[in-house]
Amino acid sequence: MEPAAAGAVEPWSPEPDGTPPGQPEAGSRSDHPEVSYVLRVNGVDRPVAGAWIGESLLYVLRERLGLAGAKDGCAQGECGACSVQVDGRLVAACLVPAATAAGSEIRTVEGLGADGAPSDVQRALAATPVQCGFCLPGIAMTVHDLLEGNHAPTELETRQALCGNLCRCTGYRGVLDAVRTVVDERAAAAARAAAEAERDGGPGSRIPHQAGPPAGGTL
């Protein structure tokens, strides 16, 4: 084979023993302690046995637990494609050693919906025109995280929340519109629920009307 030109990127190939790049070689495992632990992912305990202690949460989710929703875009915390929540906090799974997440509640994009149906955020994002869609799982995690702490973000707040998610082929207009759609739908649903509770004699309707002070005097 011709040697690669200076600066050229060599095609990926496994190590001679089949070990993927970035993983300890089979012969050096004694230098890289293996551990077993349990990750709680989307409400389910998932045992991980005999894992190299340095494996990232992203690697373990994808390669050991079969949860491929979080994407491996850069493996260095810059693209947001691997975003997950750990104990309610949005993190780049590629930067978190998986063993340190044992005992935490991990939520991935697979856990955003309920009863097999996608969440409202996922539906809204799926309705936007996209090209490759590689960034969308990470964006869905970010939008959920945003709306959990801010029920009605401004466009600027949404843009700021998305600043860690790189989309290199479609752009962000559709995502911003999707967030607006979700916010409006949730507000409309809440208003409908309040109106129905009022009509059905809910707690709000039982609060007696308090008369105001008479004209020209106080009660």
In whole angstroms, the minimum distance from the beta carbon of 165 to ligand FES comes to 9
First vs last C-alpha separation in the chain: 97
- In whole angstroms, the minimum distance from the beta carbon of 119 to ligand FES comes to 19
Site for ligand FES in 24-43 (CB under 6 A): none
Which residues inside 100-139 make contact with ligand FES, applying CB under 6 A? 130-135
Site for ligand FES in 68-97 (CB under 6 A): 72-75, 77-82, 92, 94
| Cβ–Cβ < 8 Å for 136, 125 | yes
Pattern 158-197, binding to ligand FES, x per CB under 6 A? ---------xxxx---------------------------
Residue 123 host element (H or E): helix 120-126
Cβ at position 3, least distance to ligand FES in Å: 30
Q: How far is the CB of 125 from ligand FES (least distance, A)?
A: 10
Tell me whether strands 105-107 and 34-41 are parallel, antiparallel or unpaired: parallel
Tokens of 58: 């992203």
Taking the C-alpha atoms of residue 6 and residue 116, their distance in angstroms, rounded to an integer, is: 50
Other residues' Cβ atoms within 10 Å of the Cβ of residue 174 = 18
Per-residue DSSP letter, 43: T
Residues near ligand FES (CB under 6 A) are 72-75, 77-82, 92, 94, 130-135, 167-170
